[in-house]
Amino acid sequence: MTSQSQGIQQLLQAEKRAKDKLEEAKKRKGKRLKQAKEEATAEIDHYRLQREKQFRSKQTNVMGSQGNLSSKIEEQTTETIQNLKSSYHRNMENMMKKLLSTICDIRPEIHPNFRHAV
């Protein structure tokens, strides 16, 4: 009987050691997962910073050329406005004469649809 109780005690101790080893393995696994997650986060942050630097450099290149475009557009707009003003001053007097002659020179006529009452 003592040998059976010793065997049972050994089995219980072995079971306890196995349980402890499983718990220890779970803890190590949890630590490794946490470490891997931290490394992945650090790598993602590094990659993000690198891509942001590339984006900023491309953006400054593009914005620089857009600055040149805006100055060209402004020059073209100023030139167009000057052309319109000169055209206005050239044609204003002729247009006013035509407008006044149309308004003031009235020629009364009978409408073609008007019938004389007989």
- Tens place of pLDDT for every residue, the chain, 118 residues? 677 888 888 899 999 999 999 999 999 999 999 999 999 999 999 999 999 999 988 888 877 666 677 788 899 999 999 999 999 999 999 999 999 998 888 888 888 888 876 5
Verdict on whether the full-model pTM lies above 0.85: no
AA letter at 107: R
Q: Print burial letters for 31-54: b (CB count within 10 Å at least 16), e (below 16).
A: eeeeeeeeeeeeeeeeeeeeeeee
